[in-house]
Amino acid sequence: MASTAGPENLDQIRAAAMLRISGQRVATPAVLGGCALATALTVALMSQDGPRRLAHAWLLNGWFTLSISLGALFFIGLQHLVRAGWSVTVRRVAEVLGASISNPLILMAPLALLLFFGYCGLFPWNDGELVASDRILQNKSTYLNAPFFAVRAVFYAGTWVFIARWYLKASCRQDQNGDTKTTTRLESRSAPILLLLGVTVTFAAFDWLMSLDPHWFSTIFGIYAFSGAMVAGLSVIAIIVAVMIRRRITEAINCEHLHDVVKLLYGMNCFWAYIAFSQYMLIWYANIPEETVWLKLRQEQGWDGMQTILAVGHFIVPFLVLMPRAAKRNTVVVIAMSMGLLAMHWVDLYWIIYPQFADSPAFGLIEVATGIGFVALFFMLAIKMLCSAPIIPIRDPRLTESVTHVVP
Amino acid sequence: MATVTIADIDNTVIDPATRPGVMTGRNSPGSVTEQVASLAERSRPSTAWKAAFAISVSATLMFFSLVGYLIATGVGVWGNNAPVFWGWPIVNFVFWVGIGHAGTLISAILFLFRQNWRTSINRFAEAMTIFAVTCAGIFPAIHIGRVWFVYWLAPVPNSLAMWPNFRSPLLWDVFAVTAYATTSALFWYLGMLPDLATLRDRATTKLRRMAYGIAALGWNGSSQQWRLFEKAYLLLAALATPLVLSVHTIVSFDFATSQMPGWHTTIFPPYFVAGAVFSGFAMVITLMVPARAFFGLKNLVTLRHLENMCKVVLATGMMVGYAYGIEFFIAWYGGNQYEQFAFINRALGPYWWAYWTMVSCNVLAPQLFWFKGVRTTPWAMVAICVFVNVGMWFERFVITVTSLSRDFLPSSWGYFVPTPVDILMFLGSFGLFFTLFLLFCRYLPMVAMAEVKSVMPHGEAH
Amino acid sequence: MSTVAPPRPEAVPEIEPESNGLVASFNSVDTVLEAVRVLRSGGIERIDVHSPHPIHGLDDALGLKGSPLPWGAIAGAAIGLGSGIWMAWWMNAVDYPFIISGKPLFSIIPSLPIAFELAILFAAFAVFGGAIAFGGMPKLANQKFRIPSFARATDDRYVLAVDSRDKCFDLVGTRALLDEVGGEGVTDIPPVATSEKRIPRTVWMAAAVLCVLALVPAVLIAKARNSTSTKPRLSFVSDMDHQPKFKPQTTNSFFPDGRSMRPQVEGTVARDDLREDDQYYLGRNSGHGGLAANAAEKDSDGWVTAFPLTVDESLIRRGRERYQIFCATCHGQGGDGDGLVTLRALELEQGTWVKPTSLHAEPIRGQPVGRLFNSISNGVRKMPGYASQIPVRDRWGIVAYVRALQRTRAATSADVPSEILPNMRELN
């Protein structure tokens, strides 16, 4: 049998999981992230058109880290909803990633605040003169205006933070009291929670990504954002699980769990490709100018190359590499492919956001520094929380099932 | 084993510390065989079966007579006319194809997700799939008008030196539905081989032994055969999962690649797939609840199976509701006046009754499944699922007819009215469906015996 | 449980085997797995377990490994994907190219749905076919089916079978071993009787006759496709082939003259058919009637030399437009005889192509306008007549435009209006 873990040594596993992971310095990522964001800010303010580029880089990296958390939240919700047993031991990782959502949200708040100062470098619909000369934008102005936008943003952020905190707190409380009713409650509330998550993520994607081009619209866009978030969230979970296995941090997390996480990641990545193809194909085929213009912009001036990169890197390569069973259980392959998928998710968002502002793909210090800043500050919070709680839900009633889980 | 726990009687009770059994009561491999195989072995069918079969066969005969009348006369016998050239036949096609999605979904996706409870219902659902796809395939085939040229749809070398148009979504549909019907049939047949062998080995008459013997292809249950069987089953499940998604996606392309307001919207592919699963599961419940009572399968197809299916109906119903909402929002947000008109016309135009039937049946009715009491009351779930089936038919009607009847040219606007032939053919297709289904219940193993045995606790003598 | 190795048969006498092996029933998974382990530790390799459902751990116990099915699936998928894309490309962009709603003849986007469906379909065929073929099916006759207790292998018993060809098989010893590990109802697998081994001759004969008969329709179809017939074809569905209407040039008993086409009523002229003005309609003076082409050999034969209608700017503009639509494809935009069709035909070295004479050649320049009009109406050499496509007035417009073209080639700076002249540049 692959795993030596069994119900006999469950107490050992619990004791080992209780040990706080020490030696992880939270200060390093915090300083690194702070410095990176400061550098980006400085560089942007010194160059012409820099602030506008920074706003887009900010949104890009903010949504990138946000989608990791959202993916993790969907993962937790789904696991509870279907009463999964196998995923109990990896759920803490997801809970922590979900709860780290507050950092990107706080960092993105200035983008919404800027709207009140009439900043329209990011969202053209905030430009009064443009709206006055554009009948379509006038009709949308009941929805696309600074106050309502901000109210919605606060609602989304509040909902997500509330859900994430609730999942983590309830689970940590169970670590202490071992109450099985907690599990029942988590499961029964996950259905409405997923509903709420689905609606908020859809409208957040409409607001923050789709309205960058306020004329353009696509009904599938919310699902597109959801599938991207699932890929990002599961990629990070897979990386952390693989690292834990390599470092032998706990017996409770082993290749069997990695295998199932990667299977889900594989499936969700195919789902992403399916949604991306559906959107592209329907717009391509009907060729209605008001929709096609969005794709046309992204097929010229070097953006077309990014499309090819996405098709190959986001779908074809992971699809072929992760197909064999052995690849899904190999930590090196999984880490490499998940890193690649995260990079591709970033490219995907870049391809959505940047053509609204840049004539051709631009990649420089501003993007790199903002990226490092957001990722460092995101993981700073995640590591801090992961170190201050048991790394698996030690009193979950289905822990035995998860520890002894074997992929048939 | 002497003590009886609550889970033996009611396996819908939730206790996170334990897993409820997939089946209730005391079952053993032998009892499963006896329970399922004896249904296919009865020498005389019951009176109820005979009555149902007589009605279904009459409806089928009516259906094929009407098909003959249609071919001899022309498609003018239907209500299709300018501007609604896609009327009931296409609505019926999408309706039946949608129902045909639950079977392969239960077989394939739930298999990949290791949902053991599927074993009790998958055979039933797969059979339903194949019969529904059969009904579905007839409608577009007779809709083409000159049926004797149906082979023009296939890339067959012909004396006109002409090839089909590979850029047409309607041709994709031909390939998709054909591939789906074929793969589903292979999947169903492969899964049934061991059970056919069981029927062969239990056969008491020479005719039955020969018939089941030929159908079972000489299955002997050797370890090599089981090994190949399991691998093939897994692979077919992995192939059928994207296939299920692709088929209704391509059906949605029939509409969404056009520029018709209300049809051209990017959410159609996932929305159609969710709707198909929704209607398919509703149909499984509608048929399963009476069948398990009638055939005495309550210990194999337990309340927990039904409850799980109700949850799937609720989940997919919410997805469909989400799509309705997003379509409306984007119609407003997009600012396209044609699109806005199409949606206002749906809700408030001449077909408002169809639209609100659709919304109440598909979005409101399944909300009752939030209550556990409803999810575990068979008659209630059948009632809701009948509503869902009605609602899903109306969904296709709303999409097809409201958009077409108000096209870009107001002078050609019209109001679609079905002819008696339309209505009788739709009813007749139910006759065909139920005829095939009743034959299945009579002669084939209704529950996948071998699969049920493989998820039972083993290792003890009995 | 005993793990003692069975007694090895030292010298097996060369006799007809009276048994193909042994079967024993077990009533639980655990006992049959244990029995397999015992037998294998005793050196017996040819073991099979027949069970009503798959048994986990049995593959390891029997030492079965690997499966070719995934490779079959991948090969099937690759073939399906390739053939789908190939069909979309070859059939719609190469062999039978036609444009549909402005879409490119071939693009990977709309080819993917069918390629995907075929990939799945072919992979499913490969998997299903592989499972059947490698599982030794269809094989309807099996000696084990003759053992009554074997029937429960598909019900609730686990039947272990040992093949007599195993090197460690020994009828007595193995039977004892099977009894020892708890096998119930240990039975011989009966050998195949010699009389049953052959398929009867009559079956062969019937099969051969059927094969020959099956070829008959194919041969008839092949013959029909490769021979001609004077009989009208059979049409099962008349399909608008025969319509209740009169076609031109056919007989018809309804009218006394037996013709379906009706002659013009005497003393009437059809609308637009009164063409009295020869100068305008034929490009020649009255008195030179008859078919114009017959009289075309003599340039002086009555061709109109002055336009029989007012030439103004709108006529020339109309003429230029018509020229560019109807004439320029062969004659070229400038009238040099270098139109795209001409260039293409010359490039393809079409032997029968005659390059159109340059409209600026001296003989053409000298032709009267009436003759030019006649050439457009009735054609010259390879050039077909355009009378049916271009209305009379437009033909005159083209003539006027051709005259203007010809004039440009012979123009000098004196022809240029003085106000434009300073803006013109010397060309080399």
- How far is residue A70's CA from residue A100's CA, in Å, rounded to a whole number? 10
Q: Do B219 and C137 touch (CB under 8 A)?
A: yes
Q: Is A176 on the interface with B (CB under 8 A)?
A: no
- How far is residue C345's CA from residue C149's CA, in Å, rounded to a whole number? 84
- How far is residue C419's CA from residue B429's CA, in Å, rounded to a whole number? 83
Q: Yes or no: say if A258 and A242 are a contact pair by the CB < 8 Å rule.
A: yes
- How far is residue B20's CA from residue C171's CA, in Å, rounded to a whole number? 47
Q: Which of C178, C169, C190, C180 is nearest to C49 (CA)?
A: C178
**Residue B459: predicted pLDDT:** 42
Q: Do B198 and C145 touch (CB under 8 A)?
A: no
Q: Do B243 and C117 touch (CB under 8 A)?
A: yes
Which residues from A are below 8 Å from C110, CB to CB? Answer: 281, 285
pLDDT tens per residue across all 428 residues of chain C: 444 445 555 555 444 556 778 888 888 888 888 888 888 887 787 888 888 888 887 777 777 777 889 999 999 999 999 999 999 999 999 988 888 888 889 999 899 999 999 999 999 999 999 999 988 888 887 878 888 888 888 888 888 888 877 777 777 777 787 888 777 878 888 777 665 666 778 888 999 999 999 999 999 989 888 888 888 777 777 767 777 788 888 888 888 888 888 888 888 888 878 888 888 998 888 765 544 444 445 555 688 889 999 999 999 999 999 999 999 999 999 999 999 988 888 888 767 788 888 999 988 898 899 999 999 999 988 899 999 999 999 999 999 999 999 988 888 878 888 887 777 776 64
Per-residue pLDDT of A212-235, as tens digits, reads: 999 999 999 999 999 999 999 999
ipTM here? 0.92
**And the tokens for A314?**
């986001």
Which residues from C are below 8 Å from A281, CB to CB? Answer: 109-110, 112
Which residues from A are below 8 Å from C120, CB to CB? Answer: none
Q: B455: nearest CA in chain C? A: C53
Q: Do B330 and A283 touch (CB under 8 A)?
A: no
Q: Which of C22, C47, C51 is nearest to C37 (CA)?
A: C47
Percentage of chain B exceeding pLDDT 70: 97
Mean pLDDT lowest among A355-364, A371-380, B322-331: A355-364
Mean pLDDT lowest among A234-243, A328-337, B299-308: B299-308
Residues of B contacting chain A (CB within 8 angstroms): 14-17, 19, 113-114, 169, 242, 245, 249, 253, 256-259, 264-270, 315, 318, 322-323, 326-327, 330, 333-336, 370
Residues 6+ apart with CB under 8 A from B285: B306, B309, B310, B313, B381, B382, B385
Per-residue pLDDT of B215-243, as tens digits, reads: 999 888 888 888 899 899 999 999 999 99
**And the tokens for A59?**
């949104």
Residue with tokens 């390093």: A28
Q: Do C140 and B161 touch (CB under 8 A)?
A: no
Per-residue pLDDT of A127-173, as tens digits, reads: 888 888 888 898 898 999 889 999 999 999 999 999 999 999 999 89
Q: Do A287 and C102 touch (CB under 8 A)?
A: yes
**And the tokens for A71?**
């993916």
For residue B179, pLDDT over 70 is answered with yes
Q: Could you write out the DSSP letters of every residue in A354-375?
A: GGGT-SS---SHHHHHHHHHHH
Q: Could you write out the DSSP letters of every residue in B129-191?
A: HHHHHHHHHHHHHHHTS-GGGGGGGS----TT-----TT-HHHHHHHHHHHHHHHHHHHHHHH
Q: C71: nearest CA in chain A? A: A324
A198, A274, A282 ranked by CB distance to B257: nearest: A282
- How far is residue B75's CA from residue B88's CA, in Å, rounded to a whole number? 12
For residue A3, pLDDT over 70 is answered with no
Provide the shortest C-alpha distance from residue A2 to chain C (in Å): 14
Q: Using N-to-C axis directions, what is the helix angle for A221-247 and A50-81, rounded to 10°?
A: 70
CA distances from C407 to B153, C168, C360, C416 (A): 58, 110, 9, 12
Q: Yes or no: say if B75 and B159 are a contact pair by the CB < 8 Å rule.
A: no
Q: Yes or no: say if C24 and C188 are a contact pair by the CB < 8 Å rule.
A: no
Which residues from B are below 8 Å from A279, CB to CB? Answer: 266
Q: Do C151 and B236 touch (CB under 8 A)?
A: no
Which long-range contacts (C-beta less than 8 Å, at least 24 apart) are formed by B367-373?
Answer: B367/B314, B367/B317, B369/B310, B369/B311, B369/B313, B369/B314, B369/B317, B370/A191, B370/B314, B372/B12, B372/B307
> pLDDT band for position A22 (50/70/90)?
low
Per-residue pLDDT of B28-42, as tens digits, reads: 788 888 888 888 888
Residues 6+ apart with CB under 8 A from B255: B263, B264, B268, B399, B400
Backbone angles phi, psi at C111, to 5 degrees: -85, -20
CA distances from B412 to B81, B192, B235, B396, B398 (A): 10, 53, 51, 22, 18
Residue with tokens 């020869």: C278
CA B299 to chain centre: 24
Q: Yes or no: say if B160 and B127 are a contact pair by the CB < 8 Å rule.
A: no
Q: Which of A394, A338, A284, A383 is nearest to A26 (CA)?
A: A383
For residue A201, pLDDT over 90 is answered with yes
If phi over 0 gives left and psi between -120 and 50 gives alpha, with beta otherwise, what is residue A73? Answer: alpha
* Domain-wise residue ranges, chain A: 7-403
The neighbours of chain A, by the rule of 3 or more Cβ pairs under 8 Å, are B, C
- At A376, the amino acid letter reads A
Q: C100: nearest CA in chain A? A: A285
Q: Is C102 on the interface with A (CB under 8 A)?
A: yes
**Residue B158: predicted pLDDT:** 78
Average pLDDT in the B447-455 region? 85
> How do C47-50 and C21-26 pair as beta strands?
unpaired
Q: Do A199 and B322 touch (CB under 8 A)?
A: yes
Domains, chain C, ranges and CATH? 1-8+16-192 (no CATH), 278-411 (1.10.760.10)
C56, C103, C109 ranked by CB distance to A281: nearest: C109
User: What one-character DSSP code corresponds to residue B84?
Assistant: B
Which residues from A are below 8 Å from B231, CB to CB? Answer: none
Strand-by-strand arrangement of the C158-163 sheet: C47-50, C158-163, C21-26, C184-188
Q: Do B334 and A217 touch (CB under 8 A)?
A: yes
Percentage of chain A exceeding pLDDT 90: 50
- How far is residue B305's CA from residue C14's CA, in Å, rounded to a whole number? 60
Window 2-61 of C, Cβ < 8 Å to A = 56
Residue with tokens 């040229």: B149
- At B423, the amino acid letter reads I
- How far is residue A69's CA from residue A61's CA, in Å, rounded to a whole number? 13
- How far is residue C70's CA from residue C54's CA, in Å, rounded to a whole number? 19
**Residue A403: predicted pLDDT:** 85
- How far is residue A190's CA from residue B192's CA, in Å, rounded to a whole number? 37
C139 bridge partner residues: none
Query: Between residues B402 and A16, which one has the greater pLDDT?
Result: B402
Q: Do B326 and A274 touch (CB under 8 A)?
A: no
**Residue C113: predicted pLDDT:** 93
Q: What is the mean pLDDT of chain B?
A: 88
Q: Do B326 and A218 touch (CB under 8 A)?
A: no
- How far is residue C14's CA from residue C9's CA, in Å, rounded to a whole number? 13
**And the tokens for B411?**
């002078």
Provide the shortest C-alpha distance from residue A99 to chain B (in Å): 24
Which residues from A are below 8 Å from C103, CB to CB? Answer: 285
CA distances from B32 to B3, B24, B37, B442, C154 (A): 22, 12, 8, 17, 12
Mean pLDDT lowest among A17-31, B416-430, C24-38, C217-231: A17-31
**And the tokens for C226?**
């490769």
Q: C139: nearest CA in chain B? A: B218
Q: Structure pTM?
A: 0.83
Q: Yes or no: say if A69 and A98 are a contact pair by the CB < 8 Å rule.
A: yes
**Residue A24: predicted pLDDT:** 61
The neighbours of chain C, by the rule of 3 or more Cβ pairs under 8 Å, are A, B
CA A190 to chain centre: 19
- Report cis status (omega within 30 of 0) of the bond before C104: no
- How far is residue A118's CA from residue A140's CA, in Å, rounded to a whole number? 17
> pLDDT band for position B1 (50/70/90)?
very low
For residue A274, pLDDT over 90 is answered with yes
Backbone angles phi, psi at C160, to 5 degrees: -100, 130
For residue B62, pLDDT over 50 is answered with yes
Q: Is A199 on the interface with B (CB under 8 A)?
A: yes
| Interface mutation vs chain C, best among A281, A315, A321, most C CBs within 10 Å | A281
The neighbours of chain B, by the rule of 3 or more Cβ pairs under 8 Å, are A, C
Provide the shortest C-alpha distance from residue C107 to chain A (in Å): 11
Which residues from B are below 8 Å from A219, CB to CB? Answer: 265-267, 323, 326-327, 330
A132: exposed, middle or buried (Cβ count in 10 Å: 0-12, 13-18, 19+):
exposed
Q: Yes or no: say if A70 and A62 are a contact pair by the CB < 8 Å rule.
A: no
Q: Do B29 and C52 touch (CB under 8 A)?
A: yes
Residue with tokens 């889980």: A405
- Report cis status (omega within 30 of 0) of the bond before C363: no
C303 bridge partner residues: C284
Window 120-149 of A, Cβ < 8 Å to B = 136, 139-140, 143
| Interface mutation vs chain B, best among C29, C120, C158, most B CBs within 10 Å | C120
Q: Is B451 on the interface with C (CB under 8 A)?
A: yes
For residue A2, pLDDT over 70 is answered with no
**Residue A19: predicted pLDDT:** 62
